[in-house]
Amino acid sequence: MYIRCRTPERALRGEPDREPPTPSAPGQNARPEPVETETGGVLVCRACRSRITRRDLAMTVNGRHRHVFFNPSGLVFELGCFASAGNLTPTGPETGEFTWFPGHRWQVVLCTGCSTQLGWHFTGAEGGFFGLILKALMEEEPGIRP
């Protein structure tokens, strides 16, 4: 399952999120911020090292790349929004119940390498994105591949 983003933004560098540009149209909520020359590091599943996405595929949703949410059970998640991700298996039904992003339905995604839940795929009228659990990802070390 892949969804492409037209322009990437920096992600996961420990930098605070930058202030997004002011939307030019009411209701405009996803505004990717371009990066001139950065290609981005590869982000892998922390459990099995399967390649999942890249830093340069990060995007903003509702003005931010990073979001902190809790589910109905009270578990807290810090998500990063990404335009594209791979090696993920959707599981369970797609639903709009208790969505963290108004106007978007969601479905849980698992790592295809180890079945760890890595986040959710969100879909809406204007497309979709992946909300990935940042603690479940790490940057791939150069030259090390299983």
* Distance (Å, whole) CA 108 – CA 92: 7
* Residue 61: partners with Cβ closer than 8 Å, 6 or more residues away: 29, 30, 67, 81, 101, 122, 129, 131
Q: What is the pLDDT along the chain (146 residues), one digit of tens a residue?
A: 333 343 333 344 343 443 333 343 344 444 333 333 335 699 999 999 999 999 999 999 999 999 999 989 999 999 999 999 999 999 999 999 999 999 999 999 999 999 999 999 999 998 999 999 999 999 997 765 55
* Distance (Å, whole) CA 76 – CA 36: 34
Give the predicted TM-score (pTM) of the model.
0.72
Calculate the dihedral angle through the C-alpha atoms of 100, 106, 10, 34, rounding to the nearest 10 degrees. -100
